Each structure stands twice: as structure tokens, then as C-alpha cells.
Amino acid sequence: NPQSSEILLEVGPGHTLSALVRQSGHDLTGRVIVSSLRRPSEQQPDLAFLLNTLGQLILAGVPIDWPAFYRDQRRQRLPLPTYPFEPQRYWIDPQPIAATTNAQPSLDKKPQLADWGYLPIWKQTPLPTPKIDAEPATWLIFAHADSLSAGLSERLEQAGHYVVTARAGRSFAQLGDRSYSLNPREPDQYEALIQALGDQPISKIVHAWSVTPDDVENLDRPGLGFYSLLFLAQALGKHAQNTPIELSVLTDSAHEIVGGDGKQPEQATVLGPVKVIPQEYSQISCRSVDLVLPTTERHKRQLFDQLVAELLAPPADTLVAYRGNQRWTQDFAPLPIEPSSTAPTRLRENGVYLITGGLGAIGLVLAEYLARTVRAKLVLVGRSDFPPRAAWPELIATADEHDATRRRIEQVQALEELGAEVLIASADVADPRQMQPVLDQTIERFGTIHGVIHAAGVPAGGMIQTKTAASAAGVLAPKVQGTQVLFKLLRDQPLDFIVLCSSISAVVGAFGQIDHCAANAFLDAWARHHAAHSDTPITAINWPAWQDVGQAANAAIPAELLAWRNEQLKQGIVAAEGAELFGRILDLDTPQVIVSPQDLSAVIEQNRTLNAATYLAALEAGQISTPSHPRPLLRTAYVAPRNEIEQTVAEIWQLLLGIEQIGIHDNFFELGGHSLLATQIVSRIRERLQVELSLRQLLETPTIADVALAIVQQQGAQAGDDLLAQMLMELEELSDDDARDLLDFEAPVAE
């Protein structure tokens, strides 16, 4: 039949041929693949299956030999009309087979702003099926000395697993055969713990230090949560193992799910590590499990059953929560952000609005929107000192046109030309002693405050392995402590709205941004918590990258990533779009709005795969340019490699840094190196020289000579260990008589 598609009919038992064709990788559009017999697992009569196959062949245009089909069957006679049959064709043409349904959504920027909104939702999901027959594994559980820790350890040990517990204490110590204590704020003690576990690879880690009773006072919750996970990841990175690790992070009441249950939003900062660790360490997978501590024995037993089932199952979901006997997972639904012909109803003409980070790029965009829309009275709060008004004319006249202070002064003047009245204040939003005078000055001048926009933030950046507690604290402070300070100082002030400027990184993660993701995850959880417990409208806006302003556009990144960053920014939003979206979102009655110009599911999938590992793979494959150029002018003179090890290390550096010639005393960072390249260099050295060089060793001794020396020392230690192991093996193989002869042997004395 010329109208038929290409068809494969597999005759006989099994579906092997059909499966091979489907897995061949060829374009199967227009092809029909059917089998004559059902699978053993299919609950369907054989005749019904065969008739269904026949029907598919008919639809595909296959001519059927009906006499053969009805052979040995008795047919009934049917009288036909007496008028002649007109041979007009009424054949059903075969339908073209639809395109594959698993095609990825487009990452193109959607044309309508109304389609850029998404709403985080929680949906009930089935309890996971644990792998009961899983091989015994080594578990490391960070938990307190309570019934939760004891019960979980007992259940796992009963299942045949090797369980080691780590408790929070003042110093590192071994408490028992399988129990340790360590100070959560000391990074070196996490390394000591990993070293104490020996060569046995860790398969599963459960971090439950955040699960603490409400009545316990003076708890260092950040140290038990975010910082503990940061230091744990660094220790695992230093003592890298090739086998996979599943890290499950438990929290208590971090998320609003059923209403009134998200009592501890500060615990949501652990989502930064949960989402970023897998992006920077390919062998580690993470999930967050939020629960509510049980108050009865029955609920406690139920929670143990749920936790054991969850932890023994593969981590299919990143965010999981248990409430009662229900399991919940996070998802995202489209949220239309429709335009309005009038100003947002929550804005007042000449209203008083306080903007933290008000002199930053995004803060000024939103300030301009308020000035243009309602001629607002604006209080712009910035952390840095700002020159007094009397000095503005001279600064504008003498400073370069690209000077940052001059540009801010001109932007403030532009706000006033739009009809706004502007008060500029310098204060650290995380310090209540600095913020209280700002609020007092605002009330004294304007009489009230109608709304607050919290846009303060510090640019983040840096891989986990090189992150310090101090640098992370600087990123967390304005968003975490700053939010808490604002809400405490404004608790008696009736407000029309509060807007928290969050980031889409809290949703999708971003390698090199563990602290930034954590800080914004807190803003999201805080907004949802207070929306459930307060009458003041509050919204966290998860902004995407802004093309022309904001941290994404101005972030300092390696040169070879500039093209990639610029390509990503093309899909971001411009200032006019951000201002328009802000006005539309103000009228939405929802505590959190995610703004994504691209399909959010596609962005999540892209960020899941677009991580440090894929960056390094692209770098190695030449997909990211590292042009070879001459050795730059450095403070050190060129000294050529002196031995084989230095030569090998130099070749690795030259390839990855794109420099034709590198001396053994040249500094890695002066050559343009950064932590991502350092990760790849360490990996290459491990492959080429078979030594366990740590990333920290490279960063602390960033020259080829020092790295080569560390390698020689490492090889010497390994050789000594190998020799000792060989001697012990030979001793074990000796018979009792040979051992006695060896002990009785007297060495000759030299004369």
C-alpha cells in the first residue's frame, strides 16, 4: 500500500526486537512498531491484545487478508441494499505518529511578561519503597543525643548497616567504638572525623543537627545547620572518594505546607548546601527532609518508619516533607502576572517607602518606578557612606562620568525630578543599632512608613572548597539578620506591604553560590511563614538575572566564562521589565512569586546539569576557550621544570591555563587561576601521578615547585605504607617454625 508507513510487526513471544528498534537512536517518526503477543506482566486477554494490534495495523494502512482472518469461523449472511454500490473510497488514512513526548521545554525567553510567573506548591506523593535487599553500607549520622538519633541508628543497625554517629560538642573526641563528638564551628574537626573513619567509604550521611527541641536555649542554629554542611562538604572534598555519597539533611518545621507548620524558617538556609553541593561535587547527591517533631510515642514510631523508608530509598526528590502520615514534595505551577491599567492598589500617592539596598542597581530601579508611579517619598538605605548634598555639585563637576558615586547622585536627582522626595541614610541593615536611628529619622521627617522593600545584598562567589565562614557570613547577614532586624524594629508599624528581593538561585541552585542560595532560601521561607501568621501583605520575589543591572551582570567571573555569562544574560530581564513586573506582583495575594522569563522546568534541568563537572568537561573538550598565549610579565623569573614530576605538573597547568610556558615558581593565581581550574588541576594530577593531592594543598602552595614537593612527599608516604603492608603480609604467611627461626636468628657482628 503506497499510503502505509514503515512497519515492524514482531511475531511470537517477547518484545526484544521492538525494544532494540526503539533504543536504536534512529528517527522513528512515521514508523509503527507493534507486537503480536502481550507481555507476561500485562493483564489483558490474548485475543484482545491481538485485535488491538490488528487495529493499529489497519490505522497504519496495512491491507488485511480478511478471509484468512475468518478462516474456520462461521459467518452470518447480511442482506445488502438493492441499489448499486458506488466505489467511493472512505479509507481512514494513517495518522502521523506524534513527536516524542519527552522533548525538553525551550529555554528561549517567553515574549509575554504575564507568562513569567511561577508559584511554589507542595503536593502529596506516595511513600517511597525502601531497598530492603540493599547491601550493608556505612552510615554517618550527625545527630544529638536524643531519641531520634538513637531510634534511627537502631533501625539501621537492625537492617545490617554500619552506623557511626557524630554529636555536637566543644572539641573533637572519640566517645565510643562508633561515636564521635566535634565542634560544629571548627572545619578541621570535620576533616579529623573523616580521617578517623579510615579507608572504609561512606555511602550515606544523615545530617540531623538542625532537628532540636524548641525549649533548648542558646543553640547555635546557623552553626548546626548551614555552616556545618559547608565544612562537611569541604572535608569530603579534601578526602575525595570515587564512590557515590547520599547526603540527607533533616530539618524541623522549616517550611509552610499545611498552614502554621513552618515555625523555624531560619532552618531553610540548609537548602543552599542541599542544592549547590551536588553541583560542585559530582559524587554527592543531596535531599532535604523536613519534619515536625512528634509529641506522642505513636507519632514517634510513625516518623521512624517514614524516615527509614525515605533514607533507604534513592533520593529521587530534592525537597521532601512529612506532616502526619503524609509525604509532600515541592513542585512549581504557572502563575499569570497580568497587567493593570492603573497603579497597584497597594501603592499610595506620595506614600512613604523604605528601600534597603536602595542605592544599589535594583533598588534604584524600583525607586524610579515608585517615583514615576506615585511620586513617592523614598528612604534609600545603603551600607556605604554617601556624600552630603552640599558636596554633590563639586563631585558632579570634578568626578569622571563613570564614577560610581557621581552616577548614584545623578540617579537620585533624577528621582527628585520625577516628583519624589528622597532621604538617603547610611546603615548596615543587619545591625539594629544602626537601623533604629534610620527609622526614627524617617518617622520624624515623613510621619510614617507605608511599605518596605528589602533589596540589600552582598555579591557572592567562590567554590565551596575555598569558601570561609567569614565570607559566607558576609553574604548571609544582610538577608538573614537584616530581615530579622527589620521585622523586629517594624513590628508595631502598620504597613501596606513588605517585599523581599530574593533570587531564582534559591530555586534552581548555582555553583559557586552556596551562601547566596542559602540566604535567598531563607527569604522565601520567612515570607511564607509570616504570610501565615501576619495580616501585613508580604511577598518574596525570586528575581532572575537582570541583563543590565544587578549582581549577575556585574559579577566577577573567569575570562573563559564571559561568553557563557553574556549568553545567559540575554535570557534575563531588563530594568523596564523588572519595574513593570514589580508593579504587577504588588497586587498579587501570594507570599512568593518566582520570575522566570524561560520555562522554569527547563531552567531547573539546565542548572542540574550545568555545574562544575560539565564546565570542566567543556573546558577539557575545548568547548570553552582557553587560548594559548605567552607567559605574562610576573614578579618571578622563569625557571624551567627540573625533573619529571615538575614537568608533568607544568604541562597540566599550561594546558588548562592556556599559557605557553609556565615556570616552577610562577604563582597560580597571578597566572589567572581560580578555584574551578584548581579543581581540574587536582583531578588531572591524581590521574597522571596516582597521588591524593588535595585542593587545599594547591591553593595554599600555588606554585609548581611546591606542588611537586607535596607530590614527592605523598609518594614517599605511600611507598612506606606499601612496604610495611608487604612485610606484614610476608610475616602472616610464615609458618610457626619459620617465625621461631627468624626470632632466634642472630645477625653477625662486624669486627
pLDDT in tens, 259-294: 889 999 999 999 999 999 998 888 899 999 999 988
Task: Count Cβ neighbours within 10 Å for each residue of 642-678 and write b for 16 or more, e otherwise.
Answer: eeebbebbbebbbbbbbbeebbbebebeebbbbbbbb
| 598: its cell numbers | 524561560
Query: Rounded to whole angstroms, how far apart are CA atoms 512 and 172?
Result: 29
**What DSSP state is assigned to residue 544?**
-
Cα angle, residue 549 at apex, residues 543 and 552 outer, rounded to 5°: 60
Total domain count, the chain: 3
Which of 548, 577, 600 corresponds to the end of one domain? 600
**3-class secondary-structure state, position 435:** helix
Q: Are 183 and 170 in contact (CB under 8 A)?
A: yes
Examine residue 432 and state whether it is found in any structural domain, yes or no. Answer: yes
The pLDDT of residue 617: 62
Residue 196 has pLDDT above 70, yes or no: yes
Question: Are 442 and 511 found together in one domain?
Answer: yes
Question: Are 428 and 548 found together in one domain?
Answer: yes
The pLDDT of residue 4: 45
How far are the Cα atoms of 181, 216, 287 from residue 331, in angstroms, in the given order?
37, 33, 14
Q: What is the domain-level CATH number for residue 677?
A: 1.10.1200.10
| 395: its cell numbers | 563631585
Examine residue 627 and state whether it is found in any structural domain, yes or no. Answer: no
The pLDDT of residue 94: 47
Question: Are 574 and 649 found together in one domain?
Answer: no
Examine residue 306 and state whether it is found in any structural domain, yes or no. Answer: no
Please count the CA atoms within 13 angstroms of the CA of 196 that sit on its side-chain side: 21
| Strand extents, DSSP E, 307-437 | 319-323, 326-334, 352-356, 377-382, 421-426
The pLDDT of residue 2: 38
Q: Which of 172-176, 238-242, 336-340, 528-532 has the lowest mean pLDDT?
A: 238-242
Higher pLDDT, 567 or 184: 184
Cα angle, residue 423 at apex, residues 434 and 539 outer, rounded to 5°: 75
Question: Are 596 and 648 found together in one domain?
Answer: no
Question: Are 514 and 381 found together in one domain?
Answer: yes
Q: What is the domain-level CATH number for residue 424?
A: 3.40.50.720
Based on C-alpha coordinates, what's the Rg of the chain? 33
**3-class secondary-structure state, position 322:** strand
The pLDDT of residue 90: 43
Read off the pLDDT of each residue in 302-331 and give the average, rounded to a whole number: 92
Question: Are 372 and 483 found together in one domain?
Answer: yes
Residue 475 has pLDDT above 80, yes or no: yes
Query: Rounded to whole angstroms, how far apart are CA atoms 121 and 253?
Result: 16
Residue 723 has pLDDT above 60, yes or no: no
**Per-residue pLDDT reduced to its tens digit, 64-73:** 888 788 777 7
Query: Rounded to whole angstroms, how far apart are CA atoms 379 and 369?
Result: 14
Question: Are 542 and 661 found together in one domain?
Answer: no
Helices in 243-377 by DSSP H: which ranges? 271-280, 297-312, 361-374
Question: Are 596 and 657 found together in one domain?
Answer: no
Task: Count Cβ neighbours within 10 Å for each residue of 488-513 and write b for 16 or more, e otherwise.
Answer: eebeeeebbbbbbbbbbbbbbbbbbb
Question: Are 489 and 553 found together in one domain?
Answer: yes
Task: Count Cβ neighbours within 10 Å for each residue of 139-171 and write b for 16 or more, e otherwise.
Answer: bbbbbbeeebbebbbebbeebebebbbbbbeee
The gap from C-alpha 622 to its chain's centroid, in whole angstroms, comes to 26
Query: Rounded to whole angstroms, how far apart are CA atoms 251 and 256?
Result: 13
Q: Which of 136-145, 393-402, 722-731 has the lowest mean pLDDT?
A: 722-731
Q: Which of 198-202, 387-391, 579-583 has the lowest mean pLDDT?
A: 198-202
Q: How many CB atoms lie within 10 A of CB 405?
A: 17
Residues 290, 295, 299, 301, Cα dihedral to 10°: 90
Closest among 140, 313, 319 to 228, alpha carbons compared: 140
**Per-residue pLDDT reduced to its tens digit, 358-369:** 999 999 999 999
Beta bridge mates, 120:
332
Tell me the residue type at 303: L
Query: Rounded to whole angstroms, how far apart are CA atoms 380 and 425?
Result: 6
**Per-residue pLDDT reduced to its tens digit, 528-563:** 999 999 999 999 999 999 986 655 544 445 554 555
Query: Rounded to whole angstroms, how far apart are CA atoms 615 and 606?
Result: 12
Question: Are 651 and 711 found together in one domain?
Answer: yes
Q: How many CB atoms lie within 10 A of CB 749?
A: 5
| 487: its cell numbers | 521585622
The pLDDT of residue 101: 42
Which of 546, 566, 600 corresponds to the end of one domain? 600
Confidence of residue 389 (pLDDT cuts 50, 70, 90): very high
Q: Which helix (DSSP H) or strand (DSSP E) does residue 15 occupy?
A: none
**Per-residue pLDDT reduced to its tens digit, 95-151:** 444 444 445 677 889 999 999 999 999 999 998 887 766 788 999 999 987 777 788
Question: Are 580 and 694 found together in one domain?
Answer: no
Examine residue 502 and state whether it is found in any structural domain, yes or no. Answer: yes
Please count the CA atoms within 13 angstroms of the CA of 100 that sit on its side-chain side: 10
Question: Are 591 and 652 found together in one domain?
Answer: no
Examine residue 162 and state whether it is found in any structural domain, yes or no. Answer: no
Examine residue 250 and state whether it is found in any structural domain, yes or no. Answer: no
What is the domain extent for residue 55?
7-69
Residue 724 dihedral angles phi and psi, to the nearest 5°: -60, -45
Examine residue 736 and state whether it is found in any structural domain, yes or no. Answer: no
Examine residue 135 and state whether it is found in any structural domain, yes or no. Answer: no
